[in-house]
Structure 1
Amino acid sequence: MNQLHSQISNYLTYCQYQKMLNDKTLKAYRIDLSQFENSFVDEPEPLSKDCICKYIQRLHVKYKPKSVKRKIACIRAFINYLYFDEQITSNPISKIHLDFREPLVLPKALPLSTIQKLLRAAYQSAKQQQTQCQYYVSLRNIAVLELLFATGLRVSELCSIRPSEIDLKNGFVKVQGKGSRERIIFISNPDTLTALRTYQKAYSQKISESGWFFVNRLGGRLSEQSVRGMIKSDAELAKITQRVTPHMLRHSFATLMLEDDVDIRYIQSILGHSSITTTQIYTHVSLSKQKNIMRKKHPRNRITL
């Protein structure tokens, strides 16, 4: 058991310093591999094919398919590392059939009218604040909402923006995405740029001191959870009954762009998807666009009897 623990520890060090994985990914790997290790406390050969098969069966009982898929991917990467590093003489996971269907879960997107209500509520809230502190918080919340919808950023990407990575003069933000993939997204809407510049001016000192573009009231990095809470509050102010999350703004951005005939490969690039397969889920979402096309463009409309 001590050997497996040591192997996992070495692998996580390799992921951190050689693969340069981000903290969030490392945390997930650490949790997944710790669960894997703890399930074999009394097992003399935890890396045998039989043990791994039994563990995967337990995962299917306990977790949803998406979580199972992620955990298996982590274990596979770990065992492949051990094999290629010659710490084990055979690769047991390569002999296990792991093809299972993950149910297609369509992303939830907001209609444009709902996003308009959300933004209006945030701007209205700023006008009604009684103190400078409250007003500045409202300015930050507006900037967060505007940037999320303007770019389709993941909330983790937004909270990780450094001051040097956003250029409001030329209108673009440099994003460090999943797998340390860097991409540039342009910001062209005048209202969005105005909101970001107003926020930047109000928070200039805190931004400079903290090293983060979006900061909390204590001058530290704005957390993902704070953004979720802020959006929830703005949705309540706007009297939006459905649950609204930062990721729904990302989905809405992609869906509305697709419905406006933007090429899916451009959307893939903006969202930072490594595979077009991930982006293609949005083709299932745009049912209203499909209905409109069928109504207006179908060739049967040109046939008269």
Structure 2
Amino acid sequence: MHISEYKNYLELERQYSSHTSESYLRDLEQFAEFLKANDTNLENAHYSMVRQWMATLVEQEVSARSINRKMSSLKSYFKFLRNQGYVDHNIMSQHKSLTVSKKIQIPFSQKEVGELLSADYDLSSFNEVRDRAVIELLYVSGIRRAELLGLSISRVDLESNKLKVLGKRNKERVVPLMSSTVKILKQYLNLRESVQLNDVDVFFLTEKGKPIYASLVYRIVNGYFKRVSLKTKVSPHVLRHTFATHLLDQGADLNAIKELLGHASLASTQVYTHTSMQALKNVHASAHPRNKK
């Protein structure tokens, strides 16, 4: 029901990235499939059906965080329908999100990252060079996985050692690159010429010349860090978390990290101070005279 209009609303008015809008539409499609299995549709949906879907998702052991995201997608959609006058009321207006326990993500240690980035790799292998370039760029720039997927050739300036990142709400920021990162990105670009297709401007490609995709980035990060880390939670976002934590541990200003991460508010960045507190505790324990008695 008015799906194409809703898609335009997300991308043009809300200025969501294609990755985000596709996620919203995918959640909506899943709800529509649930309704169809129960002999109804989006046009005739009411809140009790939303509750039934939530119960089904819980039974399927979908996490509370994922369920809340799906409900947020529905809330956005039905609010859009109400604002456009397509329905009399928003069936999600009274919805309350599930309680989600806050888990502090443990970043990789500097030792773990150092071991990984100092390991040898085959300079003639497209996949190995690309994968290492992905790891290096995620750690050195702190960009999101979606931002890495949307990175184009024109936004990577290896002469000026900087990266133009298109973040949430199409907000652009500039992130500096280290010489080690520039070096491996140049190695990757040399090999990229052998697989690139004429109409592909995406920076990172598969060996078949197609744009790199989300699950492949996850596998790259997971596969590499399993070699040096025993952590069960290994993902591209943990690398972003590691980037921020390591900067804080080295005394970087929180506002500067906020700008590098592309956060809209300082509150989003402050979550990383929790893990950096351990470094402060270690300094306090070793340096305070009271601990030397």
Shorter-normalised TM range? 0.7 to 0.9
Name the CA shift for 1:104/1:232 in 2 (closer, same or farther; >3 Å).
closer
Taking a change above 3 Å as real, the CA distance of residues 141 and 53 of structure 1, as seen in their structure-2 partners, is: closer
2: distance between equivalents of 1:67 and 1:233? 24
Contact 2:245 2:276 in 1 (8 A): yes
Q: Provide Cα deviations, 1:243-299, integer angstroms capped at 9, x if missing partner.
A: 54332221211111111222223222222233433322212222421312432576x
For the Cα contact (< 8 Å) 1:46–1:52, is it kept in 2? no
Q: Which residue does the alignment assign to 1:3? A: none
Give the corresponding residue for 2:31.
36
Matched, 1:114 2:105: no
TM-score when scaled to structure 1? 0.80
The separation in 1 between residues aligned to 2:105 and 2:186, in whole angstroms, is 31
Partner SS for 2:165: strand
Q: CA deviation at 1:17?
A: 5.1
Please report the RMSD computed on the Cα atoms of aligned residues, expressed in angstroms: 3.1
For residues 66 and 53 of structure 2, what CA distance do their matches in structure 1 show? 14
Q: Give 1:123-138 correspondences, 5 Å limit.
A: 124-126=120-122, 132=124, 134=125, 136-138=126-128
Whether the 8 Å contact between 2:79 and 2:90 is mirrored in structure 1 is yes
The CA distance in 1 between the partners of 2:223 and 2:65, in whole Å, is 29
CA–CA distance in structure 1, aligned partners of residues 197 and 4 of structure 2: 36
Alignment equivalent of 1:270, drawn from 242, 246, 260: 260
Q: What's the secondary structure of 1:183's corresponding residue?
A: strand
Write the distance in 2 (CA, Å) between the matches of 1:235 and 1:56.
Answer: 34
Give yes or no for contact 2:195–2:209 (8 Å, CA) kept in 1: yes
**Structure 1 counterpart of 2:187, from 178, 198, 218:** 198
Cα distance change, pair 71–99 in 1 and its aligned pair in 2 (3 A)? closer
1:95-135: CA deviations, max 9, x gaps? x15154311022231101111111122xx1226xxxx4x2x
Tell me whether 1:222 sits opposite 2:212 in the alignment. yes
Unaligned runs of 5+ in 2: none
Which stretch of structure 1 is more off in the superposition, 81-90 or 162-171?
81-90
Go from structure 1 to structure 2 and tell me whether the alpha carbon gap of 1:289 and 1:176 turns closer, same or farther (over 3 Å shift). same
Per the alignment, do residues 295 and 248 of structure 1 end up closer, same or farther by CA in structure 2, a change over 3 Å counting? Answer: same
TM-score of the aligned structures, taking structure 2 as reference length: 0.82
- Residue identity in the other structure for 2:78: I
Of residues 197, 200, 203, the one that matches 1:213 is: 203
- For residues 253 and 12 of structure 1, the distance between their equivalents in structure 2, rounded to whole angstroms, comes to 33
Among all aligned residue pairs of Structure 1 and Structure 2, give the percentage whose two residues are the same amino acid. Answer: 26
1:29 alignment partner AA: Y
Deviation sequence 1:164-209 (CA, Å, 0-9, x none)? 001011111111223333221111x222222222322343465583
Q: 1:70: which partner in 2?
A: 69
Classify 1:85/1:173 alpha carbon distance in 2 versus 1 (closer, same or farther; 3 Å).
same
Structure 1 residues 212-221 or 66-75, which shifts more? 212-221
Displacement after TM superposition at 1:85 (Å) = 0.7
Distance 1:50 1:225 in 2: 34
In structure 1, the gaps of 5 or more residues are: 1-5
One-letter code of the match for 1:220? K
For 2:92 and 2:222, how far apart are their aligned partners in 1?
A: 43
Q: 1:283 to 1:54 in 2, by over 3 A?
A: same
Is the alpha carbon distance of 1:98 and 1:169 closer, same or farther for their aligned partners in structure 2, counting shifts above 3 Å?
A: same
Q: 2:269 aligns with which of 266, 270, 279?
A: 279
Q: What amino acid is aligned across from residue 30 of structure 1 in structure 2?
A: L
Structure 2 counterparts to residues 148-297 of structure 1, below 5 A:
148-187=138-177, 189-204=178-193, 206=195, 209=198, 210-235=200-225, 238=227, 240-242=229-231, 244-295=234-285
